[in-house]
């Protein structure tokens, strides 16, 4: 496929295809990218941050070639994806990863930024991964009794 990238006045690069299909942008000292051209129209962010716009454009083109389920993209924030090891799941909420993992006991738990999902000030264990994912989804939608519980370091 032939890609037609254009540099815009702020120094970012855009891929045009019935609108802006992708944007490569400066992110601190590195470059990041977002693709809006997936068939489901949900934006995908490039996992890698690269040192130049040229390298990032090449990575975006490769990821587009692999499609919307490529490991080079973060999944849409509302979608759960099985981790590479196949022993848990993850998604993002406001840019922060949420993981659902299985403990040695066989129970499942959800964790975000070092905090466990729970209720009433106590972490909660789940019988299935789906239950843990659903509880985390409920919390991200707001208005639920779920909360992220941090260990009390003073205890």
Whether pTM exceeds 0.75 = no
**Which pLDDT value is given to residue 37?**
86
Condensed to tens digits (0 to 9), the pLDDT of residues 50-80 reads 999 999 999 999 999 999 888 898 877 778 9
Mean pLDDT in residue range 100-119:
96
List the domain boundaries for the chain: 5-74, 81-149
Q: Say how far apart CA 27 and CA 56 lie, in whole Å.
A: 11
Q: Say how far apart CA 77 and CA 93 lie, in whole Å.
A: 6
């Amino acid at each position: 496929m032939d890609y037609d990238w254009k540099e815009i006045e702020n120094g970012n690069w855009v891929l045009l295809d019935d609108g802006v299909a992708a944007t490569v942008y400066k992110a601190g000292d590195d470059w990041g990218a977002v693709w809006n051209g997936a068939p489901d129209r949900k934006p995908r962010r490039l996992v890698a941050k690269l040192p130049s716009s040229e390298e990032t454009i090449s990575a975006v083109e490769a990821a587009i070639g692999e499609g919307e389920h490529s490991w080079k993209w973060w999944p849409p924030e509302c979608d759960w994806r099985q981790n590479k090891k196949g022993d848990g799941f993850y998604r993002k909420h406001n840019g922060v990863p949420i993981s659902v993992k299985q403990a040695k006991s066989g129970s499942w738990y959800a964790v975000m930024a070092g905090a466990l999902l729970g209720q009433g000030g106590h972490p909660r264990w789940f019988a299935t991964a789906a239950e843990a994912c659903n509880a985390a989804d409920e919390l991200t939608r707001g208005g639920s009794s779920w909360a992220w519980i941090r260990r009390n370091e003073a205890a």
